Structure 1
């Protein structure tokens, strides 16, 4: 602490108050001043005295050799107290040098962190929108439009119509109606708008199909067990990856299934953003280390870092957009399930205990599955460690031999 709670006992003030003895000087003058300040808290009397050796790190790094030579010429013996202002001023100059160097290091680190902070703000805004549902539709449309624009620009510039069609199928699962003649004659901007309208119309139809597939089951479950189940988990797959999407049962019934597709979009966006962001952070750490070599080329590492970081971040966003769009356009409920097989999704918050177990509603590969476990928690049992016998102790078998020469020979 800073000494604010130090209470001087009876007779201490009359004796001179609190005395602070410092055995060395710190690199920072601020720390020295804090130590001195402990001697005079709340108007109490006090004194402070600092002792410095020429062999301390602060003096050794900044001018101790020059001062030592002066001390030798003056004939000052070892252990003699020196209170000359030259020594005090030398210490002050050394502390200033250290503080200036530390300030430069902190300033440089802040400049590097500003680059990460700007990227972090963009990613966290996207996560926040997905997590709370704010601007989710806007972000979705922006992702789709960015992917459409990248595909059109890439293949339009190379006049590769076949590659354009394959890329549209790969990303959107749509066999575009754009003909080769229209592809060659239409400008990039107009072609982008047309393809965007085509794929968004397909996505709306696909979402309606998912809702129509799931709603009969959800309605039956809500009618039978709506008072006991708050969430259910709907599995989605794009043919290669699987994800379990928790859906609020009551909300899904109230908004005619829109909650299903909304939960699907939120889950996919959050999962893919998090995975890509973690990988991006690792790459940024490696970049920060590698750009330091630019000093040998007489270049500013910070400038190189900013340029490369921007390219990495742009590439990461493109990857996220393509993966999100690809999964949303390809993903669907893998199979139809009967209402009596539906299981509850156990939410993180405490819920009323169900009277049923997981096994009563189908196996773990069912269409709608449980998240978590409804079993009663088992009390933790202490781990009992058996007594060990030293190698030179008598063997427990009673033979009279040492353990290492009896049953412990092969241990």
Structure 2
């Protein structure tokens, strides 16, 4: 029931957008149709404005309905593209942070797989919310309803995104301890310090690839450049 009402509201709103844009589309097509092949129509959700490219002739022949179809396609692709680029950046940050898992006697590869799957699920959920939100809120700005621009090949616009910092293992442990301290009375914890033997440059060490899980044994001076790149971690046996 709610779905039907929401969908009916959406269709009604898209019809209003088509009716609002059609007089301008008609005027451009009849008077300047030989100049323009595609046009750009702005849509906004109240917070940001995105440019929708549509075919002038098809929009004219369908009384503006082609514009609505292109609006749905353009908005969905723009949001997915932006979300995917942000997701790839987060995956790179995650690859760096999981290296510290070896100090907690945990498998970095296993943690990487688990955390990356959680990031992917969050991305899908956010994409669905953003697409639905913009489709329902998106409309042609009243002050620019009569503004039609020719669609030209342009460089990709830089989208300013907020960098979400992914906490590393130590930071996540600190957050967990802080949460636990708020939920229970403080406890006296004895800190045990274990001395790790110093690794010489010519000592044999074993390293593991965080992506494939494969292991190699080599001298520490040879393994160090691989560890610094973030693709390999030092294992402690």
Q: Which residue of 1 aligns with 2:83?
A: 276
Measure the CA separation in 1 of the matches of 2:124 and 2:80.
9
Partner of 2:14: 207
* Counterpart-to-counterpart distance in 1, 2:152 and 2:32: 14
Whether the aligned pair in 2 keeps the contact of 1:237 and 1:334 (CA below 8 Å) is yes
d(CA) in 2 for partners of 1:269 and 1:204? 17
Deviations 1:119-169 (A, max 9, x none): xxxxxxxxxxxxxxxxxxxxxxxxxxxxxxxxxxxxxxxxxxxxxxxxxxx
Q: Deviation at 1:298?
A: 2.9
**What are the within-5 Å matches in structure 2 for residues 331-370 of structure 1?**
331-335=138-142, 342-347=148-153
CA distance in 2, matches of 1:342, 1:323: 26
User: Alpha carbons of 1:220 and 1:337: their partners in 2 closer, same or farther (altered >3 Å)?
Assistant: farther
TM-score using structure 2 length: 0.59
Cα distance in 1 for residues equivalent to 2:112 and 2:10:
39
Q: Which residue of 2 aligns with 1:219?
A: 26
| Alignment deviations for residues 214-260 of structure 1 (CA, whole Å, 9 cap, x no partner) | 11221121111112211111111111111121211011122332221
Partner of 1:103: none
**100, 117, 120: which one pairs with 1:293?**
100
Give the Cα separation in 2 of the matches to 1:308 and 1:342.
Answer: 46
How many residue pairs align between the two structures? 154
- 1:213 aligned counterpart, secondary structure: helix
1:241 and 1:218 map into 2 onto residues whose CA distance is 23
More strand by share: 2
How far apart are residue 336 of structure 1 and its match?
Answer: 6.3
Q: Is the 8 A contact 1:213 1:336 kept in 2?
A: no
Structure 2 residue runs of 5 or longer lacking an equivalent are: 155-237
Contact 2:37–2:56 (CA<8 Å) still a contact in 1? yes
Which SS does the other structure have where 2:130 is aligned?
helix
Query: In the alignment, does 2:49 pair up with 1:242?
Result: yes
Q: CA deviation at 1:327?
A: 1.1
Q: Which residue of 2 aligns with 1:320?
A: 127
Query: Which of 309, 314, 317 is the equivalent residue of 2:116?
Result: 309
Equivalence for 2:40: 233
Larger Rg belongs to: 1
What is aligned with 1:113?
A: none
- Partners of 2:110 and 2:38 in 1: CA distance: 50
Q: CA deviation at 1:326?
A: 0.9
Structure 1 residue runs of 4+, over 3 Å off? 336-339
Query: Structure 1 residues 337, 324: CA separation in 2 closer, same or farther (over 3 Å shift)?
Result: closer
CA offsets 1:284-308 (integer angstroms, 9 cap, x no match): 1111122222223333211111111
**Greater RCO, 1 or 2 (C-alpha within 8 Å, sep 6+):** 2
Structure 1, unmatched stretches of 5+, are 1-193, 349-411
CA contact (8 A) 1:231 1:347 kept: no
In the TM superposition, what are the counterparts of 1:178-217 in structure 2 within 5 Å? 194-217=1-24
